[in-house]
Structure formats: structure tokens, C-alpha cells
Structure 1
């Protein structure tokens, strides 16, 4: 057998991309932890509890297993070739240029739309304290603030995300501890109604039937958006070979504690029948316990979660657009870094698109969250599917001796990747059945047509010639 040859792109040091390696180990670890705590859990869970009852805990656990499979597949690819535009780069290498192009732009769309979602959620949380403030004005203010932060430097982004994530982690652990205290010591206005038996009483674990519970999987998967963000940090991490595996391997306990654990405690303290759409289960639970100050603190925490996710969205969209530009799949201007080594042009365009969320909050404030959540989830499913298929193709080449093995192999090999692909296909079918989620399929068809037109137009136009790599030491080209 001949010695496997490392592809030219893989042999290049990731630092040649021109980015500043400004993300330390503690920042990458906290970004990974914080990525598992978002608006999907804090706000979206209320509507899903109303649909599924306590079986929502099982849905989060099931989806969490699949997300872990996806992340271990990504981890194996990251240790094979750690680059900033990882998802698009792997799709480009193992499936062809067109799939890299589609994946890059779709991941950009996912975060642009998710940014709209987070702005919507942040505006809703502000209304908890200031109900007279229009949602659109709060959303606009947060958009401008985070835009300024992202233009400064990756170190500022990393530090802000570190403290955002620290707030979320500390708060959820505190909420779980208080909830356990209520259940064991009985101190609260919830009285005798707080009991672990609430998990199976009130019409059982599946009060509305298994079918209704399965229909929540779209919203559940949305809650896991951003776990893959650690892959985007590969090009700006100080030591990706050590920090990335550690960050990915902490995912199981993050899921157990922050999703499954917190929901078990909340649904034990307060019966599932008291939750509904547009209300954060965490805020409502502490209001029921009778600690109004704590409910306000929780509202601040979930506001932090929304801003954290929007901040991450601005970060990732700029990097993905730069990767597309480097491969002649986006205008060259997106490939340039400003003097602070930040892809300012890509971030700016992404923020302009996110501002559509401000308009939605003005036109349809009661439906804005649901609309953008559906589109973001569909885009995420495509991205995750490309990761899994790329992993399957990569492992096939390793077996044939055509590529070197990664230092972080996924457990179960490609079997887990196939299982995860089947699960994502199932969620897609459920989305098509759900009238509320079907809007994402309509948008998906339009997006596919738009991308196809852009691809062939680029073939004929100025994008035909491969752009000179922008990652050549200078940062202002």
C-alpha cells in the first residue's frame, strides 16, 4: 500500500488563512458550552411543552444523541484538516465544488436567519420589563450593538462569548439547584403541586399522543443550532488539535445537564399544562415558585442567550462568506480582512440581511419567531447532512489508503453517521407535514433555485476565474 498523501489544502497551515489566532482554550471551551444553550430551549420550549407534554424531555434526549453523532463526525474531519470554513470545505473536497458552494451559502443563510430569530427573542425578553417598547426598536438596537462588537477583533468576540456563556451556564445550574431544593425541601408557593410525579401524571408522558410529540422535533433540532460553531473557530483557535476534541467530547454532559436535566426539574416543579407559546418555561417556572426577583434574573439570562447566539451568527457568517470568496463562489470583496484581521465586508452584508428580522418584528411580531425558526432549522439540516456525508466519504478514502486517518475518529465509524442521516431525513418529512413548518420548504425551493442560478451565472461571469488566495499574510487586501 502506498503512503497516503495529504491534499495540498490540508498540508497548508491554517494560519495561512490570515486570521488572528486569538481564541484561547478557555474561550473555545466556553463557546462550545454556550452553543448548547440557546433561544430554542429558553423560548421555543414553551410551545413544544404545550404540544408534547413531558415527553419533550425524551425528544431532546433523542435529538441530543443524533447531534453527538454529527459532532463526532465533524470532529474527525476537523482533526484531519482544521480550517475556518470547515463545513463548506469538506463538502467541496468530498462531494464536489457545487456542494461546497451550496453548503457555504446555506450555512450563511442559517445564521443570517437565526440572527433574526435571536433578535426577535431578545425583543420579547425586553418586553418582560418594558412592555410598551415596540419589538422592532429593541431588535434594531441590539443589532447595531453587536455589529460594532464584531468589527473590533476576534479576541473581543471571544471574550464577550466567554462571559455570555458563563452567565448562561451559571444560571442554568443555579436554576436546577433551586428546582431540586423546591422538590426536596418544599419551599415555594408551588406548594404540594411540585413533585417528580408531574412527569407522568396529567394524562401521562404522551398526553397528546406520540405523533404530536414527534412533531416537536423540528423545534427541538432548532434548539441545538450552534453546537457546530466550534468548527468555525478552527482557523482562529490557538491549538485546535487539543481544544477541539475536548470541546466536542463535553457535548454529552452538556445535553444531559442543560437540556434534559433542566427540563426534568422545571416540569417536575410546574405541571406541563401551565406552559404555552411565547412564554419562557424558565421565567414562568420561577414566577410560579414565587420568586419574582429570580424570574427577572432568569429573563436577563435568556436575553443574554439570545444576544450570544446573534453575536455568534455575525461571527460565523463573515467567516463563511470569506471562505466562499476564496473559492470564487462569492464576490472577492468578501475575502478581504480589515486591519484588525476581521472579515468586515462579509459581516456587514450579513447584518444588513439580519435587519430583515427587525422588519418582521414590525410587520408580524406574533409570528416572526416561528417563521425564521423553521427556515433556520431547514438550513441546519442541510449543513449537518453535508457534514455526515463528507464524513462517510472521508472514511471510505481512509480505508482505501487514499487519505491519512484522523487523530480523533468517530466512535462507531460511519454507522452512526448513517443513523444520523436517517434521523435528519425523518425530521424533514415531519417538517413537510407540519403546516407551521412547511414555510421552510417553500423557502428552501426558492433558495435552491437562486443558488443554482448563481452557480451557473458565476461560471459564465467574473467568478469563473479562480481568485488568487486571500490568505497570504497581508490582511488589508
Structure 2
């Protein structure tokens, strides 16, 4: 029987959270999309990733300070409700839910493509539905299963990146000869300088660089199910600068040292090109396995995060009460079923909708993530104003760092306005928030009756 005393299980161990933090910012954007990023900005993409990574570090420090200020709260939505009000929590919670539904929609569709690389005779929908059912089933067992899946998914991605960097350093040390010439660090800046595409290319690269870190705030959702949050959360957040330097800056620098940036294909993974160059015949197969694990990781995170978000909204009275119920394994099964059903519907719609509509939905999702980051930092700002006591994990350089984050998010919004696809999404976003605000008012009146 369900009891009111039941709370989410603190079953995530330190290694789960650490690997989730390391793997959270590593996705298909790095393995498949980095060729496009490099073509857009050239070597200056390294600076773009550094700037975005630094801002994300401060965002996570703000989130970390909130999480450790009150262990009775289970997610950042609970803090938004406390410091910005129930309407803000309602809007933010459902917006975050939509973000991850869209990510699941995109990555689950991608898993079908990746599986068909080996089994081209399969219909696209079959591996998608199978993978979704598998991940849902595993998520229903216990939160430890979610942690184990993310641990191994992250480990696969990390091994691939470390292998790329190690191979690249050997090629540089031995001055390996490719069809493009000698492998050396000078290749990074020897083809048009550090800003070969000018200010325009550099600015537009912030769109892709920012979206590469989407989902980094997931650590703020697992805090309520972490064994020792006071120790684990700070370690996970403080590791962010290291993983930015190693995974993004290191990997992209090695790629451009091996291949001149303007000779890389935007249609093929740079990882495939590098491994193929040194004679690894199965390079495409290896990278396909990595991106499949990356897409499955995103789907796994989407099932987890949307279920916990609906559970949190239900606890606040902003979703049907049944979604706050927990199973004997302390898992919000009803909330997971609801979100998974919507994900299935989204995938089916994606099969019949024009690609332009799908692109628009995912663009809306990425804009919503900027809103989520803004609300987290705004809640932290209100917390610091209202709570004068000394914090366990204070945000560095407050309040200057807060103002820098706000300025950066506005800047990225301006960059999104420069792109046609995301500009259309920006025009539609006010209608989304107006609709949610109206629903929040209706929900408040319903509760007071």
C-alpha cells in the first residue's frame, strides 16, 4: 500500500552521480555533430566551448548551493516553488518535462537509425519501441538500475573520447603523415587563423556549443535520490571544468590537429575519420555503437527526469495526485507510465509529420532549456537575498557571477534570433508560457475550491 511517509529512494551511489556528471555533457553532438560545429566556426569553436562551459559551471554551482541548503527538497522545482512561487514552479516544471519529452523523441528516433546500421531490414519503429520498453522496464525496478545504466553509458562515451585523445597524441608525437599532411598542433591555427570564419561564424557557434550542455542540470534532479548529497553533489559539480577541458576542448583540438579544420566533412563523424586514418577498419561500427549508447542514455535520462518531474509537480498539487504515488521500490511508476506514453505518441507523430515540424519542436525544446537555467539561477538569487546564513556550498563570485549568467543567457537568445529555424521557435515561445500561466491560474483556483 502507498503511504504518505514514502519518499524517493536515496539509492544513487557516488560513482553513479560522478559518471552521470561526466557523461551528462557528452552526447551525439560531440560524436556526430562536431564536424558541423568545426565547419561553422573553425578553431574558434574551442573558445566558444570554453566560455559556455564556464557559464554552465557557475549555473551548476548556483544549483548546488540550493540543493545543499535544504535536504528535504528533492529537486530544483521544489526550490523554485519556495523562492519564486507556485505559478513559477508550475510553468518551470511542465516546461522541463516538455524539454525531456522532446529529447526522448529525437534520440529514440535516432536509436532506430543506429540499430538499422547493422540490421537494415528492420522497420525503423521496431527498435525504437523495443528500446523504450526495455528502458522503462529497467527504470521501474529501482533508481539504482537507472544509475547503473547511466554509469555504463557514460563509461562507453568516456572511453571513446580518451581513446581518440590518446591516439591523437601518439600521431602528433610521431608526426604521422596523413593525406592532408603532417599531424601537428599547428594545424589548428594554420588554416586561416583562429577565427577563420569571422565574427559571424564564431557567434553562431554559441548555439551549438550551448545546446551541447543541455541536460547538465540533471544532477539537480537526482539529488533527492543520492546517498550522501553533501559529499557527492559538490564533487560532481566541481568536476565540470575538468570534463570540459578534457572532453570537448581536448577532443576537438586533437581532431583539428590531425585534420585541417576546413578539410573535415560536416556529414561524417570526425571520430570515424580519425580512426579510419590510422587503419581501424571498423571505425564506423565503433562510433555507431558509441552514438547508440549516447542516444539510449538520453532516452534513459528522459524517462527518469520526466517521471520525477511529474512526481514533483504532483506533490506540489500541479499534476494529478496519482502521479505522486510510489511503488514498493520507491519509484514513481504512474508518472513514468504517463511520460512514456507521451514519448511513444511523439515518436509515432514524428513518423507521419513533416521534418520541419519536428525541427521546430526540438528548437522549442532547446530554447526552453535556457529558460530552465534562468529560473534555477533566479531562484538561487532569491535564496541568497532571503537566507543570510552561511551556505554549505557557496556560489563563487556571487553576485557578479549571477549577473554574468543572466547576460550570457540573453546573448544566446540573441544568437538564436540570428538563425531562421530557432527564430521561428522564439516567436512561438510566448504562446507556450502564456498557455502554462493560464493553466497555473486555473490550477490555483481549483485547489482553493
Cα distance in 2 for partners of 1:94, 1:222 equals: 27
Equivalent residue for 1:80, pick from 55, 58, 69: 69
- In the alignment, which residue of structure 1 is the partner of 2:189? 200
Q: Residue in 2 aligned with 1:300?
A: 289
The separation in 2 between residues aligned to 1:359 and 1:133, in whole angstroms, is 16
Aligned match of 2:223 = 234
Q: Counterpart of 1:216 in 2: which secondary structure?
A: helix
Q: Is the 8 A contact 2:6 2:326 kept in 1?
A: no
Structure 1 residue 370, shift from structure 2 partner: 4.6
Name the counterpart of 1:159: 148
Structure 2 unpaired stretches of 5+: none
Partner of 1:141: 130
How far apart, in 1, do the equivalents of 2:190 and 2:361 lie? Answer: 34
CA shift for structure 1 position 83: 5.2
Normalised to the residue count of structure 1, the TM-score between the two structures is 0.87
How far apart, in 2, do the equivalents of 1:243 and 1:368 lie?
Answer: 40
Structure 1 residue 98: deviation in Å? 1.0
- Indicate conservation of the 8 Å contact 1:120/1:357, yes or no: no
Cα deviation for residue 323 of structure 1 reads 0.8
CA distance in 1, matches of 2:361, 2:186: 35
In structure 2, the CA distance between the partners of 1:250 and 1:459, relative to structure 1 (3 Å rule), is same
More displaced, 60-69 or 216-225?
216-225
1:268 to 257, 261, 264: 257
Inter-partner Cα distance in structure 2 for 1:111 and 1:366:
19
Counterpart of 1:326 (choices 304, 308, 315) is: 315
1:390 aligns with 2:379: yes
Q: Retained in 1: the 8 A contact 2:75–2:222?
A: no
Change (3 A) 1:129 1:273: farther
TM-score between the two structures when normalised by the length of structure 2? 0.92
- CA distance in structure 2 between the partners assigned to 1:345 and 1:278 by the alignment: 41
Aligned length: 446
Q: 1:348 to 1:173 in 2, by over 3 A?
A: same
Asked if 2 retains the 8 angstrom alpha-carbon contact of 1:146 and 1:311, the reply is yes
Contact 2:188 2:194 in 1 (8 A): yes
Question: Measured at CA, do residues 192 and 42 of structure 1 come closer, stay the same or move farther in structure 2, by a change above 3 Å?
Answer: same
CA distance in 1, matches of 2:136, 2:12: 19
- Are the aligned partners of 2:87 and 2:441 in contact in 1 as well (CA < 8 Å)? no
Local SS of the residue matching 2:44: helix
Give the 5 Å matches for 1:38-437. 38-82=27-71, 85-131=74-120, 133-187=122-176, 189-190=178-179, 192-277=181-266, 279-359=268-348, 361-363=350-352, 370-398=359-387, 401=388, 404-437=389-422
Contact 1:136–1:361 under 8 Å retained in 2: no
Matched position secondary structure for 1:388: helix
Say whether the 8 Å CA contact 1:317–1:350 is kept in structure 2: yes
CA distance in 2, matches of 1:76, 1:312: 23
